Amino acid sequence: MSPRPDQPSRQRTGRRPGNPETREAILAAARAAFAERGYDATPIRAVAAAAGVDPALVHHYFGAKEELFRAAMAIPIDPAELVPRVLAGGAGEVGERLVRTFLAVWDSPVGAAAVALLRSAVSNQWTARLLREFLTTQILRRVLDQLDLDPAEAPLRGALVATQIAGLAMMRYVIRLEPVASASPDTLAATIGPTVQRYLTGPLEAS
Amino acid sequence: MSPRPDQPSRQRTGRRPGNPETREAILAAARAAFAERGYDATPIRAVAAAAGVDPALVHHYFGAKEELFRAAMAIPIDPAELVPRVLAGGAGEVGERLVRTFLAVWDSPVGAAAVALLRSAVSNQWTARLLREFLTTQILRRVLDQLDLDPAEAPLRGALVATQIAGLAMMRYVIRLEPVASASPDTLAATIGPTVQRYLTGPLEAS
């Protein structure tokens, strides 16, 4: 997944933080560009130009575009690492594993940031666009690519999964509706997993 | 459902609006009480006392407690009327009909208020509590009562439905994730209806 196979991902996280003001200027420019143009249509050099720095500096501070995107949104997980883990072990139980993986991230210390992002996306149109870009290009596209789905159905399947997962996050962490708020990951994986599984690989409409 | 069978619901909607300041004081007191104590534990007389008016005046302006609750949250639909309509025609297609009913409300002119409520609930802990009370006491309780479900499973079934419906609202109206944002009600009822159906009446866990 990395465009630079000579630089393994462990090393990348040791990237030098750089000048805090320059760094923040780059992140602000990235947020604006990703929200306005979308992830795919935003080249690193446009972000660099908006921040008034050399593109090489953006690469030096943040690495590849997807890492810049995660840094700009303060997203503490790496979908490039997480998604393959969810999909490992065959497509038959991907629904349950996807629910378990999301719960593991949200229930962990970094989960607060994910919930904050969800809150912010709901009240702020700009963050909503960023979250949509993130979902589409960093998570759903990866999942759908690896499952080898009918391209005509794949976008709807991905978006349906997003409705169920986002609603689970909302009811469990934001609205705190019982018994979903305190249910065990096992219960939620067993009950919601089959929904995600059908959205991804099952017949889309009832027969 | 009405505690006063002598007063049919058509007549009630013609209720006199009353003094705007008194009316607003009652609504503010109702919002505070419902959020703090919950719907069930809030008697009309507590709202009246907090607003400094006679309980009879609250009844006179707003009618029964459930109508006061809807007025306090500016909820433009009447679950007491809507829920039986969803459940009419047998339990076998209730999932599809529930999705269609929600979409019809949200896609209508009053839908903007429902989406605003969802946004507010996500960013404001107080509105979140009110929305949770509304979901639980005004919608889910009615649906679950009429479906004659195993009481041990009913709360989880209701909360699971809420995760799917809230997530659909979020992705379609707030995040505007395609193709769910522009999908027809037919497509969404056909694809998401079976999920709601399983949460309500199907086996909860995959066999």
Express each pLDDT in A128-177 by its tens digit: 888 888 888 888 888 888 888 888 999 999 999 999 999 999 899 988 89
Q: How many angstroms separate the CA atoms of A75 and A66, rounded? A: 11
Q: How many angstroms separate the CA atoms of A31 and A117, rounded? A: 13
The pLDDT tens digits of the residues spanning B85-96 come to: 888 877 788 899
What's this model's pTM, rounded to 2 decimal places? Answer: 0.77
The answer, for A53 touching chain B at a CB cutoff of 8 Å, is no
pLDDT value for A182: 96
Q: Average pLDDT in the A70-82 region?
A: 81
pLDDT value for A134: 84
Confidence of residue A16 (pLDDT cuts 50, 70, 90): low
Q: How many angstroms separate the CA atoms of B151 and B184, rounded? A: 35
The pLDDT tens digits of the residues spanning A105-116 come to: 888 877 777 777
The pLDDT tens digits of the residues spanning A116-133 come to: 777 777 777 777 888 888
ipTM of the complex: 0.77
Type of residue numbered B201: T
Across the interface, of B123, B132, B177, the residue whose CB is closest to A122 is: B123
Q: For the CA atoms of chain A, what is the radius of gyration?
A: 18
pLDDT value for A15: 58
Give the 3-state DSSP-derived string for A32-61, with helices as H, strands as E and coil as C.
HHHHHHCCCCCCHHHHHHHHCCCHHHHHHH
**Coil, helix or strand at residue B182:** coil
Residue A116: φ, ψ to 5°: -60, -40
In the predicted structure, residue B5 carries a pLDDT above the cut 50: no
Question: Residues B185, B172: contact at Cβ < 8 Å?
Answer: no
First CA to last CA distance, chain A: 38
Q: How many angstroms separate the CA atoms of A149 and B159, rounded? A: 30
The answer, for A167 touching chain B at a CB cutoff of 8 Å, is yes
The pLDDT tens digits of the residues spanning B150-188 come to: 889 999 999 999 999 999 998 999 888 999 999 999 999
Among the ranges given (A18-27, A50-59, B9-18), the one the predictor scored with the smallest mean pLDDT: B9-18
Identify which has the larger pLDDT, A104 or B76: A104
| Residues comprising chain A, all counted | 207
Among residues A170, A167, A166, A160, which one has the least CA distance to residue A198?
A160
Question: Which of residues 72 through 101 in chain B touch A, CB cutoff 8 A?
Answer: 96
Among residues B207, B202, B125, B109, which one has the least CA distance to residue B164?
B202
The answer, for B162 touching chain A at a CB cutoff of 8 Å, is yes
Confidence of residue A207 (pLDDT cuts 50, 70, 90): low
Across the interface, of A122, A168, A204, the residue whose CB is closest to B163 is: A168
Identify which has the larger pLDDT, A124 or B141: B141
Mean predicted lDDT score pLDDT of chain B = 83
Question: Residues B187, A206: contact at Cβ < 8 Å?
Answer: no
B-chain residue closest to A120, CA distance:
B123
Q: Which chain B residues have a beta carbon less than 8 Å from that of A187?
A: 156
Q: Which chain A residues have a beta carbon less than 8 Å from that of B167?
A: 162-168, 170
B151-171 b/e (C-beta count within 10 Å ≥ 16 → b):
eeebbbbbbbbbbbbbbbbbb
Across the interface, of A156, A167, A178, the residue whose CB is closest to B163 is: A167
Q: Which chain B residues have a beta carbon less than 8 Å from that of A174?
A: 121-122, 128
Give the 3-state DSSP-derived string for chain A, with helices as H, strands as E and coil as C.
CCCCCCCCHHHHCCCCCCCHHHHHHHHHHHHHHHHHHCCCCCCHHHHHHHHCCCHHHHHHHHCCHHHHHHHHCCCCCCHHHHHHHHHCCCHHHHHHHHHHHHHHHHHCCCHHHHHHHHHHHHHCHHHHHHHHHHHHHHHHHHHHHHHCCCCCCHHHHHHHHHHHHHHHHHHHHHCCCCCCCCCCHHHHHHHHHHHHHHHHHCCCCCC
Among residues B128, B124, B126, B156, which one has the least CA distance to residue B140?
B156
Place of tokens 């705007």: B20
